[in-house]
Copies of this chain bind each other. A is one copy, B any other.
Amino acid sequence: MSTEQCNKRTLMDYCPDIKVVDCTLRDGGLVNNFAFTDEFVRDLYEANIKSGVDYMEFGYKASKELFDPKDFGKWKFCEEKDIRAVVGENKTPLKISVMADVGRCNYRKDILPKKDSVIDMVRVATYIHQIPAAIRMIEDLKKKGYEVTVNIMAVSKVNTEDLDAGLRLLCGSSVDVIYLVDSFGYFYPEQITKLSQKYVEAAEASGKIVGIHAHNNQQLAFANTIEACRMGVSLLDATVSGMGRGAGNCFMESLLSFLKNPKYDEIPMIRFVENHMLKLKAEGVVWGYDIPYLLTGILNSHPSTAINFINGKRSDYCNFMQELLDVE
């Protein structure tokens, strides 16, 4: 749907092309090292189906040459047999997604032809300077038969000329979806308005669509996601209770409540929170908005320093801010 068409809708309408992508296992896995129980994963799969979610991302396709399987839960690697143990042949409307980082995925070997895989979509995560390498992956994955997205990370640190050049290259590739990714939770909604316009215009001209992946450093992940939606962005990422690296992501519960397409139902997701997310929090798994993430967000910095600060049980926020300003 074009920006123009979407601008005509009211809050009682819906754009039928909007699709919701659950990234709980993938972005949330960065919080707990992918240590989800099998019951958690099965129940999340069921909740996604019942809630009408369109895609469920199971995790990463990480190279076992770079990452030792002893150090991570299985969703760091998303082996075919592990996904099938949950979804069987996945005879459901819910599509299966995995993420593959440029330079960290042995995609030629580890990603099978689509006919041999239950995976539907591969999301290629790239930094701006890796776009030529990303395109080589994209073409391989498209030839294998997958839906393919490209997620340009940390775009708040990319200058406009480089971004325009990157978008041009990607629009010339076979990729299906180009993602606007606010890795650092830096953007305000009015910046998302303009960036969404840029992405949607570029994508539409070459028959592609746009997705958004937001972070909650400034408690704007949901606001930014629905603003992008208003501007014609079609694939919306969210995680249950916002579970994701650092400040986390757009809350699935909020997003499903916002979307008016009757296929979506937030109740099964809220029941999943009751049954699983409260337990996870009680066990001490920590994510979500906090002052250190606000500070890295407004300073357009990687959240790793804030994660270390919080893991170190520190609360001297003002010292932390001065440390951030020193290294900027």
Using A219-B254, A253-B294, A294-B253 as known contacts, say yes or no to A189 and B270 having CB atoms under 8 A apart.
no
**What residues on B are CB-neighbors of A190 within 8 Å?**
11, 230
A128 nearest CB across to chain B (Å): 22
B222 & A222 in contact (Cβ 8 Å cutoff): no
A220 & B222 in contact (Cβ 8 Å cutoff): yes
**What residues on B are CB-neighbors of A291 within 8 Å?**
253, 270, 273
Using A219-B251, A251-B219, A270-B291 as known contacts, say yes or no to A227 and B189 having CB atoms under 8 A apart.
yes
A18 at the interface (CB under 8 A from B): no
B-facing residues in A79-108 (Cβ within 8 Å): none
**What residues on B are CB-neighbors of A280 within 8 Å?**
none
A112 nearest CB across to chain B (Å): 39
A188 at the interface (CB under 8 A from B): yes
A169 at the interface (CB under 8 A from B): no
A287 nearest CB across to chain B (Å): 14
A271 at the interface (CB under 8 A from B): yes
Total contacting residues, chain A, CB less than 8 A:
35
B-facing residues in A140-175 (Cβ within 8 Å): none
Contact residue among B222, B251, B294 (Cβ-Cβ distance under 8 Å from A257): B294
A257 & B321 in contact (Cβ 8 Å cutoff): no
Main SS of chain A's interface residues?
Answer: helix
B189 & A267 in contact (Cβ 8 Å cutoff): no
Contact residue among B230, B294, B316, B317 (Cβ-Cβ distance under 8 Å from A254): B294
A216 nearest CB across to chain B (Å): 8
Q: Which residue of chain B has its CB nearest to the CB of A230?
A: B190
B315 & A274 in contact (Cβ 8 Å cutoff): yes
Using A253-B294, A257-B298 as known contacts, say yes or no to A267 and B318 having CB atoms under 8 A apart.
yes
A122 nearest CB across to chain B (Å): 31
A188 & B317 in contact (Cβ 8 Å cutoff): no
A238 at the interface (CB under 8 A from B): no
In the assembly, what is the distance between CA of A222 and CA of B289, in Å?
A: 13
A219 & B222 in contact (Cβ 8 Å cutoff): yes
Q: Which residue of chain B has its CB nearest to the CB of A257?
A: B298
A217-241 near B? 1/0 per residue, CB < 8 Å:
0111111001100100000000000
Query: What 4 A-B pairs are tightest by C-beta distance, nearest first?
Result: A223-B223, A257-B298, A270-B317, A271-B318
Task: List, sorted by A's number, 23 A–B pairs whose CB atoms are closer than 8 Å.
Answer: A11-B190, A11-B191, A188-B226, A189-B227, A190-B230, A218-B257, A219-B219, A219-B222, A219-B223, A219-B251, A219-B254, A220-B222, A253-B291, A253-B294, A254-B294, A257-B294, A270-B321, A273-B291, A273-B317, A274-B315, A274-B316, A274-B317, A278-B315
